[in-house]
């Protein structure tokens, strides 16, 4: 929210002082609004970019699709993509598929997945996302078929890695002196690296020292919910830096306001 207000203030000052606003400025504003759920404001800035004579780029369209999907306006996002003056890239199709997964929209999701796999037929991330999508709508046979495709194409998933600022602990580095103990705890924490790192932080630090972890992938919704619960039960501040955003968990809430 703070970043969004700062971005809006910059645009307002630029307009007052008649400073030329470039397309990359609007990318920052759109991204900030998307992570704050400000749909009305983002639509207003979309009108502004058209009025300013800047031709929207695929990055601008991508930010708008991301905003609409995060706000559960997936149908509108899909229709918006149909109006693009150029072909959507894999990032936009993937964003739409994530939106369909969160909102359990089978029909649109399958259309989007077909387009995504046509563009990136060997990207395992797409197949895993599609498998999770089918699981979310209880299409178990289709989920199994996607998993079978992964095996047939000999694609292997790269496991996520999370680091925590305690003695250089990195999940996946089994040379750590407490590797065996950490591994045993992983059985109960579903093998999610960020949960392991947080558990290790709880063991090795005391409040009010915040637990800081860095993850090389986007945090999943399940781990996000678990981390909120942990921050409330243990009364700890937990800061997570994933591939996209910073998340600050305090007393059961996250700074991203659940706009993952």
Tens-digit pLDDT profile for residues 185-240: 554 555 677 888 888 888 888 888 899 998 888 888 888 999 999 999 999 999 99
Residue 101 pLDDT > 50, yes or no? yes
User: What is the phi-psi region of residue 238: left when phi exceeds 0, alpha when psi lies from -120 to 50, beta otherwise?
Assistant: beta
Residue 96 pLDDT > 50, yes or no? yes
Contact between 101 and 109 (Cβ < 8 Å) = yes
Residue 93 pLDDT > 70, yes or no? yes
What is the reported pLDDT for 12?
Answer: 55
What is the reported pLDDT for 54?
Answer: 78
Q: Torsions phi, psi of 239, nearest 5?
A: -115, 120
pLDDT band for position 13 (cuts 50, 70, 90): very low
Which DSSP helix (H) or strand (E) runs through 135?
helix 124-136
Under DSSP, is residue 71 helix (H, G, I), strand (E, B) or coil? coil
Residue 75 pLDDT > 90, yes or no? yes
Closest of 96, 30, 98 to residue 63, by C-alpha? 30
What is the reported pLDDT for 2?
Answer: 44
Model pLDDT for residues 234-251, shown as the tens digit of each residue? 999 999 998 878 899 999
Contact between 260 and 219 (Cβ < 8 Å) = yes
Under DSSP, is residue 255 helix (H, G, I), strand (E, B) or coil? coil
Helical H segments across 139-252, by residue range: 140-152, 179-188, 193-204, 221-233
- Report the pLDDT averaged over residues 101-127: 94
Across 144-172, b (16+ Cβ under 10 Å) vs e yields: eebeeebeeeeeeeeebbbbbbbeebebe
| The two three-digit tokens of residue 24, written as one number | 């990359």
């Amino acid at each position: 929210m703070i970043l969004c207000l700062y971005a809006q203030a910059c645009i307002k000052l630029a307009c007052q002082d008649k400073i030329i606003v470039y397309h990359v400025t609007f990318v920052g504003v759109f991204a900030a609004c998307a992570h704050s759920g400000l749909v009305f404001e983002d639509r207003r800035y979309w009108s502004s970019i058209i009025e300013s004579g800047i031709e929207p780029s695929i990055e601008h369209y991508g930010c708008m699709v991301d905003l609409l999907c995060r706000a559960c306006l997936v149908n509108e996002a899909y229709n918006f993509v149909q109006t693009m003056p150029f072909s959507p890239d894999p990032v936009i199709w993937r964003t739409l598929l994530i939106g369909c997964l969160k909102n359990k929209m089978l029909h649109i999701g399958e259309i989007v997945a077909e387009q995504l796999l046509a563009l990136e037929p060997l990207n395992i991330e797409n197949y895993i996302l599609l498998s999770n999508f089918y699981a979310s709508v209880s299409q178990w046979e289709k989920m199994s078929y996607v998993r079978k495709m992964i095996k047939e194409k000999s694609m292997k998933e790269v496991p996520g890695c999370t680091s925590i600022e305690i003695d250089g602990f990195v999940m996946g580095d089994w040379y750590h002196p407490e590797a065996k103990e950490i591994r045993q705890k992983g059985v109960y924490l579903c093998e999610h690296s960020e949960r392991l790192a947080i558990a290790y932080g709880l063991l090795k630090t005391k409040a009010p020292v915040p637990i800081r972890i860095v993850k090389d992938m986007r945090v999943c919704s399940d781990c996000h919910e678990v981390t909120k619960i942990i921050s409330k039960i243990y009364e700890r501040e937990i800061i997570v830096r994933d591939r996209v955003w910073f998340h600050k968990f305090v007393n059961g809430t996250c700074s991203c306001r659940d706009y993952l």
